[in-house]
Amino acid sequence: MTDLTDDAELVRASRQAWGALETVHVLSYFAEEVTAAFVALGLRPRLSYFAARSAAFGAVGPEVPTATFYVFAPWLHAKALPASWSAASPDEVQQARRDSMGVVLERVLGDVDEVELAELLGLVRTACEGLRPPGRPLYAAHAGLAWPDDPRVALWHAAGLVREHRGDGHIALLLAAALDPVESLVLNGLFARNTPFLKATRGWTDEEWAAAEQRLVARGLVSGGALTEEGVAFRKGLERDTDRLALEGWAHLGLDGTRRVVELAAPLRQRALDSGILPGWTTSRRA
């Protein structure tokens, strides 16, 4: 695959920047305050995820998130949508998400230096200005939303744009590699050491999971319930190519700016990890 740039330092720094921002953004999927806000609207706790992440598309049915989220069993989408829109509109879900994340970020980030926060937000917004929507449906939907006024929530929103842009590119690579949703999960679970979490949350049966593992065994990527040497190299290659496809925003910001994002976001990442909100495996994911 052709690099968008020959600058290996920018690739490395961009991955570190994404990783720090990602840790802050995903608080929204685990924080009790966010789930409580959705329940107050009438959404079901476990299924609120599907309404929250797809609300940027409008009142869609299950087909859109089945396509764009990729790795969840279709029956989960069908249980959540369009039923969730009978309880709350997409705009109401979006507002509840932002309001509750304001509470979460105030608690987790605490007395963060406001000057540094403003600098970080400005840098990440500059990176977001370099992101392009073609072929990036989840990114495009979220990029169409108004920016929050609260700087903490605005940083969370910016991190979400970076996340969804990168994720859209990753799904394109999964398709190119002929990995179906369950096979992708099996590989990722073994690579990131979070298989129990994925099996508990993605909705596939044990039989579907076992069948996918056997297909990966036939491809030489898995053996004895673990990644083979070829499987590790294959999965690392997917990550490298995902980083390259996600590079355009960071190239727009430049290497110095991207390094400054890493520097400024690192303490926020640590506060998110120390908050107790995130699953334990997030602290030891393989880079």
- Strand boundaries in the chain, DSSP class E: 222-223, 226-227
Residue 223, classed as helix, strand or coil, is: strand
Number of C-alpha atoms within 13 angstroms, CB side, residue 158?
28
Q: Is the pLDDT of residue 286 over 80?
A: no
The angle formed by the CA atoms of residues 175, 178 and 181, to the nearest 5 degrees, is: 70
Q: Measured in whole angstroms, how far is the alpha carbon of residue 20 from the centre of its chain?
A: 12
Check whether 10 has a pLDDT greater than 60.
yes
> What are the pLDDT digits (tens) for 97-150?
999 999 999 999 989 999 999 999 999 999 999 999 999 999 999 999 999 999
Q: Model's pTM, two decimal places?
A: 0.94
- Structure-token match 């910016």, residue found: 158
pLDDT band at residue 284, thresholds of 50, 70 and 90? Answer: low
Q: What is the C-alpha to C-alpha distance for residues 6 and 284, in angstroms, rounded to an integer? A: 29
Tell me the CB-side half-sphere exposure of residue 118, using CA atoms within 13 A. 3
pLDDT in tens, 14-54: 999 999 999 999 999 999 999 999 999 999 999 999 999 99
Mean pLDDT of 173-178: 98
